[in-house]
Amino acid sequence: MASKLSASKQAKLPDVMLAATSKRVPQATVDKLVISFICESLQPSAVVEQPSFKELITTLQLQDKVISRSTVHGRISDAADDLKKTIITELAKGQDAIRSVCDEIKVKMLNPAEVGFLREYCITMKPLLKASNIFQSESSVYLGWLLPVIHQAQSKLNRLETSSRTCTPLIRALQNGLQRCFGQMMEDPELGDAAVLLPKFKTSWTDKPDVIEAELKQRIEIQRVSHRSAVLQKRRIEIRKVNLRYHSLRLTHKDRDVNQRC
């Protein structure tokens, strides 16, 4: 009897689909539910490109479209960035604010050691975050910005290394990464010249301004001398061409005189 009752109460799939199609769900709500499904079930964003998934959405909601893979990735990234900013902002307000954040995202309250680590982690990563923002901007894309920004990040990491309690391995890893990626560039004289020639920096970013200025002056003098020699060489060539033309004209006149006498 119970099995017959439960069977009679169960809705049939066509009835569910008809009910869903009769009630229009906004596109924004569908997109939000799809993103929630991807995040909670740890699905890849490429799941929205699967034919069966598209068929599921378009069958349940005939007038809605399936959100694209790039849009899913972008919205998840934006949401993660917003959550990071919220956590960082709340960390600066004290443990009560941290507790409210933990309650909001439904995780266990952090202990004092974890709170201290997060604070030190934010301080450690701040120089690299600033350098990354500078390099990605549109106003400071000159080549002369490279060495000063990297040098400043290295200097800040060196100062943090002496006072860090829990992030010393991270600081050393960041230092090694900067040296591996930009070590050769830091010794490139042309990049140093580009930084010195920017009025914003000049030699304030380096600990050896005298050496850089001397090298720059020497290269400028070499270029000046080479330019002078090139100009002199060009003048010699022009004078030689004029002499050759004059000599050819004299020979032409002599030939004419000889022909007239004959």
Tens digits of residue pLDDT in 39-81: 888 888 788 888 888 888 777 776 677 888 888 888 888 888 8
Contact 190, 207 (CB under 8 A): no
Q: What is the mean pLDDT of the chain?
A: 77
Name the DSSP letter for residue 49: G
For the stretch 193-247, pLDDT in tens is: 788 778 788 777 777 766 566 666 766 777 777 777 777 777 778 877 777 776 7
80 located within any domain: yes
User: What is the average per-residue pLDDT within 108-136?
Assistant: 84
**Is 132 part of any domain?**
no
The predicted structure's pLDDT at residue 200? 82
Q: What is the pLDDT of residue 169?
A: 92
205-219 as b/e: b if 16+ CB within 10 A:
bbeeeeebeeebeee
49 found inside a domain: yes
Give pLDDT, residue 203: 76
What's the rounded Cα separation, in Å, for the pair 132 and 152? Answer: 12
Beta strand segments in the chain, E: none
Secondary structure of residue 129 in the 3-state scheme: helix
Ranked by mean pLDDT, the top range of 4-8, 129-133, 169-173, 234-238 is 169-173
Considering the domain boundaries, does residue 135 fall inside one? no
Render pLDDT for 73-103 as a digit per residue (tens, 0 to 9). Answer: 888 888 888 877 777 676 666 667 777 777 7
157 and 174 in contact (C-beta within 8 Å)? Answer: yes
Q: What is the pLDDT of residue 9?
A: 57
180, part of any domain: no
Q: Which helix (H) or strand (E) holds 29?
A: helix 27-40
Instruction: State residue 171's pLDDT score.
Output: 92
Split at pLDDT 50, 70, 90, the class of 1 is very low
Question: Does the residue 224 lie in any domain?
Answer: no
Mean pLDDT of 136-148: 78
Is 14 part of a structural domain of the chain? no
Q: Which of 211, 191, 212, 207 is nearest to 147 (CA)?
A: 191
Cβ neighbours of residue 198 under 8 Å, at least 6 residues apart? 142, 144, 145
Give the Cα separation of 233 and 238 in Å (integer): 9
Q: Domain of 55?
A: 21-86
pLDDT score, position 62 = 65
Sequence-ordered alpha helix ranges (H) in the chain: 2-9, 13-22, 27-40, 51-60, 69-91, 95-105, 112-136, 146-163, 168-186, 189-196, 209-261
- Select the more confidently predicted residue: 22 or 170: 170
C-alpha 122/C-alpha 100 separation (Å) is 19
- pTM value is 0.47
Q: Please indicate, yes or no, if residue 30 is contained in any of the structural domains.
A: yes
pLDDT tens per residue across span 4-40: 444 455 555 555 555 555 567 788 888 888 888 888 8
Q: Hey, CA dihedral for 16, 21, 27, 28, is it positive or negative?
A: negative
Q: Total structural domains in the chain?
A: 1
Residues 94-125: b if buried by 16+ CB within 10 A, e if exposed: eeeebeebbeeeeeeebeeeeeeebbbebebb
